Structure 1
Amino acid sequence: MRVLAVALAAALFMFGTTTAAPTVTGNADVVIKNTHPLIHHNGRWDKSPGTWWAGSGFKIRVQDLKELKLKLGEHTTAPLVSLGVSVNYEPFFQVNASEGTNVIPLSNKSVMENTMLPSKPSVVRINVEGWQNNRMNLEEIILNPGAKLLKYTPSKLAFQFIGDSLSAVSVGSGSQGQFLPEGVDQAWTFLTGENFKAEHNVNAQPGAALKDIVSYGNQHGVSYQYFKTEDTGYYYTPDHNYTTPWNFARDQPEPTHIVIHIGANDASQNVTADDFVETYLSFLQRLRKLYLFQPIFIFTPWGWPAADGTVSYYYEGQYQRIVNTRVQSGDIRTYLVDTTGWVTWDDVFPDNTHPNVAGHAKIANLFSKWLEAWGLLPLDSWSTPLSPS
């Protein structure tokens, strides 16, 4: 028994240092360390490793998958973190997890059929749903005996979304303002990525202005925080109340399309139109150093609908001014997305006029049609197949 234990310990140690797919035969669970190269991380993770920003998570491809557990560490949000789980590209469903070992249900019909056919791999995608209370401190992934970790191939399309509460929402009930039951997984940003069978990162902070000012509990604006690993929740996290630069080389694959919808909180904080335009242009200059050739899509505000059918707007004409300035400077890959009329009273929560579940789905479909007219078509299939390689 001692010899077996030593051999097993050695095998588990090797998981973090080899590219071979780990498999343990017999009745022992297959334990995958968080450093294993076949885990595809998306979004932003710190060194613990722990997630920041809504939608950050990981993806794995597993042959003969029957059981899945996550062992989460002490930096996981207490008492729980809400995770979105999708198996075999089925719609995401919510699982609440906490520090310790958590059983992740594989309840989709496609998985139950898949486990009866070991030659067919399964693809599991897991992400944090909230823009706050979103720390998943991943230590180990635990699979059933006989399961085999395979390579996940990222999509050829990769969206980078940047914004505020109109792009990333927290987890909660619809009666609580902009909250959606499944957080960012029901937001137009996330849904657009799904429509195109694309990878998608969402760096959006509710309440934050683009300008680097204190706004609604955010100590920094998105023009500062976007370049950091942590979201603005770092300020309220006792074990992590600092920021570290984000290494953009870790964004794999590199984003192919950049989408920005921001400005509502700048207007609420009385940032002048000229100041906002200057801030936006400086931000775009920094982004261009990261994304040399990618198209950048700049949303105009869809505004704040009212029950009487009217819509109030902010910074009218300024987004066109921003795009015109960029194009005149030679940046012909910056585009204006005019969202006027996209959102009506029926599409928002009445207490604060943020899009509701149906409203976000509507925005995602309208933007998807806009992109198709622009020339970007959804992929025919996901890059990681549900069949043997």
Structure 2
Amino acid sequence: MGLFKLLPLLFISFSAATILQNGQIRPNDYRNTTVTARDLSSEPAWVSYPPDAPELSYKGRWDHQYISWWSAPGLKFGFEADSVAISFGNYTSDGVLIAYRVDGQDWLLTNVTANSTHMLVGPRTEGNNLTHPSIHTFEMRVTNWAYGVQIKCVHVSGPAARLIHVPNFPRTMELIGDSLSAGQYATLEGISSYSWGLMYGLGNVEFSITAYPGICLHDKRCYGNLHGQTFQWLKTPDTSGRALEIYGDGPDIPDWDFESHPPADITVINIGTNDNNTANNVTHKDFHDSYIRLIDEVHVRWPASQIIVLSLWEGFGETDNMWIQGGGFVDIIQDVVRSYNNGSLNERGGEGFVHYFNTTGILQHNDIGPLYHPTDVGHIKLASHLMQYIKLTFGWVLDQTGPEVQHDTLYWNDQTSY
């Protein structure tokens, strides 16, 4: 049996009604948070903030219309209020699942849609039902990598209700990748991915997951994506169908404004699986040159960023009675990393800022799901190893000490005899 290739399915039919988990329908009885104008009028006087209010902090990539892109983008702000509601604009995907929480409480889930308002925090919401502190923090994340939301307005109510700006964390990370990093086929997709587990798990880190299923590193059409990451990483939107509907594939695609956002202290790159598939016909030279180009693009924009390059895993194949892990572009990726550390590319910024992370041995064959992507456990294992690597290599302290990271991954036995 040969080693299988990862075959991303870009144009699958998403459904807010049915999600399969281990072959069974997973309950998704998420709370209905939709409210009407009449519902709002029953509350005390509301104070409304526009999407460009300075109190609002957008996480990940959002465009000038306050439309979210890529995997697990978010919104964060402080508030002093009894209730918080958000109105979503017409570019919000129908039924997109969002995760949200108050302070350090566990994530809550709800489906939102275009041109709707959702009461996400009330007097009884976990965290907000405490009298101390009186000022709370609200976080929201889009769970999916192809869907998104548009923020139209944020509302608060209660005596002297107000929003408060929450300062950014002191550390920033960026992850560039494809479906493996975007969380495709994980239980809750983007917020179940190793990318999420790594960066949220480190704690006190601002981050962006610039990853999309099926995308190649080399700039060419791959599995419906019109461009590779050497092109798309420089742009605000991803390569989704909704991005094409809004911006097309021409000069109207907005560039990402790197200067208006904090530089990444660490950039993780995990890409190349789609390039390595014969269906996309990317040559070794094209892959090598494109990797150099992407690293150069990162280094020009963030000269102080430390770059971690992950080796590719290509799943497992059975040989005799053993499962053997495959790899892709192994020698080429190592050559790319060495070229930044042996003096031959000093004109590109010196030595020592590109690091190689070998994924071999972290995942076993049962850490790969039926659709060729990591299981939730596989994602957690990879995130945990990367966290320790960053701690040991760069001296980062693991600051996350309590708040839930992955949601719906609580597996335990609570029987004393069985």
TM-score normalized by structure 1? Answer: 0.82
The separation in 2 between residues aligned to 1:46 and 1:340, in whole angstroms, is 37
Residues 342-357 of structure 1 mapped to structure 2, 5 A cutoff: 342-350=362-370, 352-357=371-376
User: Partner residue of 1:57?
Assistant: 74
Residues 216-227 of structure 1 mapped to structure 2, 5 A cutoff: 216-227=223-234
Aligned residues of 2:128 and 2:136 also touching (Cα < 8 A): no
Superposed displacement of residue 113, structure 1: 4.1
1:89 to 96, 104, 107: 104
Q: Which amino acid aligns with 1:50?
A: I
Superposed displacement of residue 226, structure 1: 0.4
The separation in 1 between residues aligned to 2:67 and 2:243, in whole angstroms, is 16
The answer to whether the aligner puts 1:270 opposite 2:290 as a matched pair is no
- RMSD over aligned Cα, in angstroms? 2.1
SS of equivalent residue, structure 2 residue 79: strand
The separation in 2 between residues aligned to 1:121 and 1:151, in whole angstroms, is 11
The separation in 1 between residues aligned to 2:385 and 2:399, in whole angstroms, is 19
User: Partner residue of 2:265?
Assistant: 256
Distance 1:89 1:249, change over 3 A: farther
Superposed displacement of residue 53, structure 1: 1.0
Q: Which amino acid aligns with 1:95?
A: T
The separation in 2 between residues aligned to 1:153 and 1:87, in whole angstroms, is 16
The answer to whether the aligner puts 1:138 opposite 2:151 as a matched pair is yes
Superposed displacement of residue 278, structure 1: 1.1
Deviations 1:289-326, CA, capped at 9 Å, x for gaps: 10101100000113312465211211122211101111
Superposed displacement of residue 90, structure 1: 3.3
Superposed displacement of residue 51, structure 1: 0.9
Superposed displacement of residue 244, structure 1: 1.3
Aligned residues of 1:90 and 1:108 also touching (Cα < 8 A): no
Superposed displacement of residue 225, structure 1: 0.4
Aligned residues of 1:34 and 1:141 also touching (Cα < 8 A): yes
Superposed displacement of residue 379, structure 1: 5.1
Aligned residues of 1:203 and 1:226 also touching (Cα < 8 A): yes
Distance 1:200 1:143, change over 3 A: same
SS of equivalent residue, structure 2 residue 381: helix
Relative to its length, the structure with more helix (as a share) is 1
User: Partner residue of 2:299?
Assistant: 288
Aligned length: 342
Aligned residues of 1:87 and 1:106 also touching (Cα < 8 A): no
Q: Which amino acid aligns with 2:304?
A: F
Aligned residues of 2:200 and 2:400 also touching (Cα < 8 A): no
Distance 1:331 1:89, change over 3 A: farther
Superposed displacement of residue 127, structure 1: 1.8
Residues 35-114 of structure 1 mapped to structure 2, 5 A cutoff: 35-63=52-80, 65-77=81-93, 79-99=94-114, 100-105=116-121, 111-114=127-130
Q: Which amino acid aligns with 1:295?
A: Q
Q: Which amino acid aligns with 1:141?
A: V
Q: Which amino acid aligns with 1:42?
A: K
Unaligned runs of 5+ in 2: 1-42, 402-418
Distance 1:107 1:338, change over 3 A: farther
The answer to whether the aligner puts 1:213 opposite 2:229 as a matched pair is no
The answer to whether the aligner puts 1:155 opposite 2:175 as a matched pair is no
Residues 344-383 of structure 1 mapped to structure 2, 5 A cutoff: 344-350=364-370, 352-378=371-397, 380=399
Superposed displacement of residue 353, structure 1: 2.0
The separation in 2 between residues aligned to 1:261 and 1:299, in whole angstroms, is 5
Superposed displacement of residue 180, structure 1: 2.2
User: Partner residue of 1:325?
Assistant: 339
Unaligned runs of 5+ in 1: 1-25, 170-177, 383-389
Q: Which amino acid aligns with 1:61?
A: G
Superposed displacement of residue 87, structure 1: 2.2
SS of equivalent residue, structure 2 residue 378: helix
SS of equivalent residue, structure 1 residue 361: helix
TM-score normalized by structure 2? Answer: 0.77
The separation in 2 between residues aligned to 1:93 and 1:186, in whole angstroms, is 14
The separation in 1 between residues aligned to 2:263 and 2:241, in whole angstroms, is 25
The separation in 2 between residues aligned to 1:322 and 1:108, in whole angstroms, is 54
Distance 1:282 1:103, change over 3 A: same
User: Partner residue of 2:186?
Assistant: 180
Aligned residues of 1:38 and 1:150 also touching (Cα < 8 A): yes
Aligned residues of 1:302 and 1:342 also touching (Cα < 8 A): no
Aligned residues of 1:28 and 1:145 also touching (Cα < 8 A): yes
Superposed displacement of residue 44, structure 1: 1.5
Deviations 1:8-31, CA, capped at 9 Å, x for gaps: xxxxxxxxxxxxxxxxxx931121
Distance 1:381 1:356, change over 3 A: closer
The separation in 1 between residues aligned to 2:398 and 2:157, in whole angstroms, is 32
SS of equivalent residue, structure 2 residue 66: coil
